[in-house]
Amino acid sequence: SQTIHQWPATLVQPVGSPLSLECTVEGTSNPNLYWYRQAAGRGLQLLFYSVGIGQISSEVPQNLSASRPQDRQFILSSKKLLLSDSGFYLCAWSRPALESGELFFGEGSRLTVL
């Protein structure tokens, strides 16, 4: 069976510090991978998605970046966090096909920037 894990689950970081959130998928090959951010009272915002190693599409301009060094590993990073980066970050995967089905989400990472 397929599983997805992301970590850390919770972190509190000062403004200007770096960030690294990691996500790994097991039990499937060549998944589509996604990073979302969820703010209170708002819909999920797609930050990045990837259809293969080294292929990253960015949906919104920001001080965040993503990388996919391995087929089932997706990393969200920042060199300098802003207060507005606080939120609930979700990694997700879907099956590799244009008409892919549902998204499977990781446990989520709650980031508080102070």
Partner 1 sequence: GQNIDQPTEMTATEGAIVQINCTYQTSGFNGLFWYQQHAGEAPTFLSYNVLDGLEEKGRFSSFLSRSKGYSYLLLKELQMKDSASYLCAVRDSNYQLIWGAGTKLIIKP
Among 5, 107, 112, 114, binds partner 1 (CB under 8 A): 107
- Residue window 46-85: x/- pattern of binding to partner 1, with contact defined by CB under 8 A: x---------------------------------------
- Choose between 69 and 102: whose C-beta lies nearer to partner 1: 102
Which CB contacts under 8 angstroms, 24+ apart, belong to 49-55?
Answer: 50/74, 51/96
Backbone torsions φ then ψ of 113, nearest 5 degrees:
-105, 125
How far apart (Å, rounded) are the C-alpha atoms in residues 28 and 3? 9
The residues binding partner 1 (CB under 8 A) are 41-46, 90, 98-108, 110
